[in-house]
Amino acid sequence: MDKVSEVTVRIGDMTSTRRVVSSPVGTWCLEGTEEGLTKVWMPFESPRRDAGPACEVVDRAAAQLEQYFAGQRTTFEVLLAPVSATAFQVACWSALRDIPFGSVATYADIAMAIGSPRAARAVGNANHNNPWPIIVPCHRVVAAHGLGGYGSGVEVKSFLLEREGVDCANY
């Protein structure tokens, strides 16, 4: 199977392009328009697929994700499309982008960073609703005592963290 394949989906008047990227932990699917990346589907999620050409934004994001899995990229320069979200979710996702490659923060750390020190559980919920996993690195957020959850499973979270040089045995 090719590492990357293309699909498009028509939603009303807007064409949303999808690119499928293979990785050691499963297949990721990036979706977006020329306005930006709208969704990153994690392994084991099943987006609908239709054949078609890919748009430049999604092509660029897929290339960067491939580079990440090849150990050639530590940050992403991807245009993110506006999505429906609460102000709290947006604040959480913004704080996630400040966690450097190879580092972790706790849910409580993120809550403190956004000015809501008692909202660690809500940070977890915001992470769960992050439409751009890896690109907006929710996998870098851990629990106070353990790795915490991840939408595609703790095994995938552990792989991503270890790929970035984090010793998961410490969590």
Q: Kindly name the residue from 29, 55, 92, 138 that is annotated as catalytic.
A: 138
138 is catalytic: yes
The crossing angle, in degrees rounded to 10, of helices 120-128 and 87-96 is 80
What the block records as the tokens of 95 is 């704080």
Contact 63, 70 (CB under 8 A): no
Q: Residues with catalytic annotation?
A: 138
